[in-house]
Structure 1
Amino acid sequence: MGLVYFGDKIIKNVFINLQQDLTRNGLIERRQELDLRILLELILFIRSLDKIKGQYFKVTWNKFYPPIYADKFYPFEFFTYDFGLKNTKFVNIDGESRKVNLFESTPRVELFYDVLDLHIKNEQLVSLREKLQPILNERNKPIDLSLLPASFFPSKFSEISVESVAYLDEFLDMFREHEEFTKRKNDENKAVKKFHEYCDYFNDAMSLSTKSFIFAIEFLVHGQQKLIDDTYINLKKDFMNSIRGYRQLAQISGYMGFWDLADNNNLCFRIMFIVPDIGIEVDEWIEDIIYYWEDIYFNRIREKDVYKFKGTDAIRFEAVQLPVAWSHKKLKPRFLEVGKNNLSMKKLICEHAISYIVLSEFYYCPFELQLYLKAIAVISEEQSKVESGLRINGKRMYRVFRGSLSKKQSLV
């Protein structure tokens, strides 16, 4: 729609929302090693490498000069910081335990650590620290790339040595010259393209009415372990298809959402709705959607044999209203009332809410959520014949979804 320019500010907005949600669902407390601040700095640092031709630092005999905008980062803490972003887990697929390798952040962050691991063996660093120092004192002697100690890069530019900067330039050259460097940049370009497509969809939904209400609802199932894995996605799809057949909910202009984790790692989905102002109070819209999920839809599907619900089963559907976005004060109220020509507000929603919906899985997607999505994904026949030590190399199971535009004529 031409309203939004993608840049570092958008990524920062995504991380503000991530921090809030991961704190809210307890994931950060359960995983103390996760520091989103450092991960954000690393992502911005890698993006900055695309703007530089030649070496990152200009190095003379006894001085060095960083790029002008590098003062915003100085993110060398991540060189020896263990995020725990990569892990191997087992997923039960068709009754068989399959080993899958998961990575929680962007493809270029993964490449960064892959290249780093080729040259820096962390388990050797402590014992080799004393051995390295005499080597560094001899400026003309090559440095063995496997001997970088954990304290090699200090925390301030003023404390870093010329030798250290020269080593850093050497590593960054290896990283940028890797054959996967540009290819993995294209992965981000695809994610950004998807973000703009969702902004266009949002703009089209807004155009159906002179004024619209926008709000976000999270849909949860308590006791979801009683659901069959491959039916959970179908349950959400059936709910969203049937909701338009209920009274004025048929006139929902559009919606977009994503799968997420709630407390205790329970799978849930969150949706941002765009509904027209047709004389119905916004509270009525919200109450009807929640009532449909918690009562009407639940009572309807519990009779189906596929779900095998019993009268005594501790299964309950719940819907909770959330802010449209945490990262801007104008988006934190229970709902937004926005005119179709209010370009500044639509831009704000794209920059904070839609960017988080679409891009959050690209910049950080927890292992726990990926395992849910892997478990409910349909694994191809070809993959099912591979040995159990399988690495699933296919595309990620995307957790983002959107509806079609309302088939109603424009209500303007």
Structure 2
Amino acid sequence: MDQDINVIVDVALNKWALGIQVAILSILTTVFLALWLNSLHRVLFAWLLAWTANLCALLAVFGVILGTGVFSETALRMLYVLYAWFKLWFAILLIFGLSRHFYKNSLLNPSVMRFLLAFTISGGLLLLLMQVDMLIIQILVYILVGGFLLMGGVYFLFKTDRSQSKIFQLVLCCESFILLHHAWVLIPAVWGGPIPRYMTRISFFDSIAELIVGATCLFVIANRVITVLKQRNSQMEEAQQALRELVDVDPLTGLWNRRHIETFMQAHGETGYLIYIDVDRFKQINDGWGHAMGDVCLQRIADGLRKHFSTDCGIFRLGGDEFLVISGADEMTIHQDINALKKELMVRNEALPSVSISVGIQEMSETVSFEKALQQADTAMYSNKRLGVSG
């Protein structure tokens, strides 16, 4: 009597556990379907098929339990063979998706996949024709699925050094050990040996194990998405930086233009000296030597400014033949730098005219804002130009 009650309890618990597994796998399959519909990544399709196959396998087992005493022996065996076929393809597609996830070339290439498809179909038909006992089919499933997951997990465990990959491989190895353990303890039952009592209620443990595998799959995908988003953000930042440089940099001289002055002032503060520079008789250079030579002269001035002023200075081309330097050096050093620049620019030869510049210098302070200092430097520059001497 107690034994009959235990059997009834075991059957009821198995049905409940299988129902929980069906619910879990349905949720996982739905999640992978939603992810795949919003992505073209091939790994998602492989894992979608894997969890769909696992769900179909579980539904086949559910059909066997519900159909016992209702369906014929052949129909029940057919359902069990379908369970075995779908379960094996769950493992194959899981490894296939893993290889697609971490490598461009899949470990399971089309020829191998065709071989596995032919092998599993012919194997399933053979099991049906030979009317193999369902216990033996279950043991074969545990061995094949566990062995395949173990080989794939170990292979990729040593193939890649990515931490998120190793987590998934370790989970696959643990799942394979669980399945191989099931096969090991069931083998004696083929010869009439006893089945451990806990194996009649192992579905609860299997549900948790498969939930962990599914959650790890989602973790790997989430990690991949985060990595891709970081890469895209980095690329966007690089593109924005390149765009800012295109906007803020004068294409002829390579100096900053007016747009960058505010950014520079925010970074360095409104202190130091403004050095306003204008080319003398620049129109005569353009008219006498040509506009191409005028551009060469502007580039020559830009090179001289970079050479004689420190890298901490802000050097700008304001437009046309006007330049601005924002320097934190003392006034004596600034005059030395300007004189050295003027001396260099006055050198001429048959291919290059001499260049004269007028300079206006104005200090910024708490009482003299940038705008006011710039206006005063501009005024000083024009005064210097009219006098024909350096300021």
User: Which TM class, normalised by the smaller chain length?
Assistant: under 0.3
Larger RCO (CA under 8 A, 6+ residues apart):
1
TM-score by length of structure 2 reads: 0.23
More strand by share: 1
Larger of the two Rg values belongs to structure: 2
